[in-house]
Every structure is written in structure tokens, then in C-alpha cells.
Amino acid sequence: MAVQTTSDRPRKLAGYDFYHQILGSPKLIVAPMVDQSELRILSRRYGAQFCANNPSQLLASALAVQDHCDAVDINLGCPQDIARKGHYGSFLMDEWELIHDLINVLHENLSVPVTAKFRIFLSVEKTVAYAKMLESAGAQILTCHGRLRTQRGQNTGLADWAHIKAVKEAVRVPVFANGNILFHEDVEKCLKETGVDGMMSAEGQLYNPALFAPASSGNPSSTLTGAHPLHADLALEYLAIVKSLKMPTSTSAVKGHLFKIMHPALSRETDLRERLGRIRGSNIVEEYIEVAKEMKERMERDAAEVMKGGQMIDDLITIEPTTGLRVLPYWLSQPYFRPLKSPTEASERASSPIPTSHEDVKRARLSGQSAVGDIDISL
């Protein structure tokens, strides 16, 4: 395969020149997620890759798309089983020479920059060394997900912003942070505490694609700074996108997205949950739309009934006792988390609050426990 030499190519922008002049200095970024591309379109309306383990194959694929994109991003952070089986993502973290080659071959041969997303190691020092290796290989933007490779599913726990801050202070290229974004107001908090250039969200977008959008001028809440639309409206908007795409979307992926987007009410509207789960056949998207429309009617009915006395949304927000996290009215889009399972765990949780410092998180990891017990806040 013939490749261009450096002297054959026009100068491409790098680092902050690329970040400012080509990307437009974004602060809010939707993360790369396997099989979630069509939902990223919806997320983008509300404000808002490659995985490989063979440098030559990666380059061949990247060359095919370089004229249709601003950059090529390598996702080195995926901890899912599909990444383990395929030997990519975070399961390459211990193969630094290979990772260096993956990034460097793109840096040397593409007409567009290469960027990389990665997870942290247990020690800040190793995390920083890893980030500096990625930078030296040619990555022009780094996204640091402040969780270990083992922090997933029931063991997700908190992301460690101290690692992210250390990475930002150690490298010269732009850095994006990833982790612990539940509500819109968490974005500004992360930017302030870590000093990063931008904030990336992954699973938070699956439950509330409007996560990055500020509250509208008619916002009926004084405490929520972000948009929390009727989740059924988001579901219908998502299904309209699915219908508009030239390539068909996996029906199982569509169903999974709908269960996430409408999750606040599906535990109440059990008939719709069961109907959604049973949908099969050739006219699937239209049947999904009918379920979402029925959900919208019920949610609008319930919201009107509850709020007819002039109540504010703030009056309806409750606090989940084992986590201290806010729970919004069930007709609104909102983050997902798993509360602790038993009164015993809740009692232990009450005497051991969610850690906020790097040392608290590190102690929890060393003890072999999730930093927040069984709370899934991988957002």
C-alpha cells in the first residue's frame, strides 16, 4: 500500500490550532460508543470511531475516510466484552508499543489529525506517562475517561477527576474530560475542577440526549440549569431520525435506546414496557412510534394533572436516600443510576458518603470495592 510522505502533503493543523480553527473550540462532546451512531445525531441537535489492533489495517480504513471527516479518533477506552473479544479499546492498555504504532501510523500518513480517548491506570503517575506517550505518538487531542478498565456495569463507581487534572497539566495538546456527568450543571463543575478544554459524555447521552442543552427560557425550575424534555418527545424525535437514515438501524439497538430514553416511566407503564419488548415483524419502527405516542399522551396527562395547582418542577424533585441524587418527575428525561439493594447497604452507605477526592476513590479501589457501591453513574 502506497502512502504519502510528509513532504508530499500540505501542512495539517495540530493541537490547539486544530481544536480552535477546525473544530471551533468545542466544550461539549458526545463520546464514541459502539452501535450508538444514530443516537449521536439526536444528541448533536441538543448541543453536542475507530477501534483497531493492527496499524496497517487501521491506516487502510482511515485513508478511506480522511476526505470525509475533520479527524480520525482512536477509541482506546472501551471496556465492554466486545472489545475484549476483539482485542481493542481498553484491552490494549498494557501494549504501549502497539498503541504508539496505531496512533503514529495515522499521524504520519493521514491528511487529517488523529485523536485518542483512553482510560486511567490506578496510579496518577502511570496515567500521566500513558497520556504523554499518546501525545508523543501524534495524538492531537486526548480524552481522559477517569475510570479504570475494570470500572464498568455494577462496578462502575466514580470517575477520578484528579487523574484528568494531572493529565491536563502534563501535556500540551487539548484535553477533554469524561466521567461523572449526571446533570447539565456538572459540566461547568468538571471544567472548573480539572481545567480541561472540553467535556465528553457517553452513557449520559443514552438516557438524556439533551444533557448538554441549557434550560429553555420558560424553564419551570430554579435548580436545574439544563434541559429535561418530556422523554417521550425525545423518543419520537429519535425514531424520526431512524426513519430518515438511508442505512437500516438494528432493531435491537432501537429498542435498547427506547428503553433507556423512556426508562423513568416504563416501570409505571408496565403495559407499554411489555408491548415495547414484544414488538417483532416487518413494521417495527412504526410500532415503536405508536408506543412512544401513547407514552407521550400519558405523560402529558399526568404532568397536567400534577402541575395544575401551579407547582414548580422543583417542588416535585425528590432525593434518592441511598445516593443523595435527585430524582425528577417521571415524565422528564433524566440520568439513570442503580440505588443500593438493601437497607443494610443503605446504612453502610450513609456512614460512607460518595467519595469526592482522589484519595477516597483510590482507597475504595484498593479495597476491591466500587467507589459508590452498586450505583451505576457511568455518565
Nearest CA to 183 out of 154, 220, 208 is that of 208
Instruction: Identify the residue whose cell numbers are 437514515.
Output: 245
Question: Is 236 within 8 Å of 227 (Cβ atoms)?
Answer: no
For the beta sheet containing 175-178, the strands, ordered from the edge strand earlier in sequence to the opposite edge, are 28-30, 198-201, 175-178, 139-145, 114-119, 72-76
Q: What is the DSSP letter of 226?
A: B
Task: Report the alpha-carbon distance of residue 72 to residue 110 in Å, rounded.
Answer: 9
**201 Cβ contact list (under 8 Å, min separation 6):** 28, 29, 30, 31, 48, 178, 181, 211, 212, 379
Q: In what helix (H) or strand (E) does residue 195 lie, and over which residues does it extend?
A: none
Q: Which of 51, 69, 78, 144 is catalytic?
A: 78
Mark whether 51 is an active-site residue.
Answer: no
CA dihedral (257, 262, 267, 268) positive or negative = negative
Q: Is 34 exposed, middle or buried (0-12, 13-18, 19+ CB in 10 A)?
A: middle
Query: What Cα–Cα distance (Å) separates residue 61 from each residue in 52, 55, 65, 284?
Result: 10, 10, 7, 33
SS3 71: coil
Task: Report the alpha-carbon distance of residue 258 to residue 38 in Å, rounded.
Answer: 12
Question: Is 84 within 8 Å of 73 (Cβ atoms)?
Answer: no
Task: Report the alpha-carbon distance of residue 292 to residue 288 in Å, rounded.
Answer: 6
Question: Is 336 within 8 Å of 263 (Cβ atoms)?
Answer: yes
Q: What is the DSSP letter of 343?
A: H
Residues with active-site annotation = 78
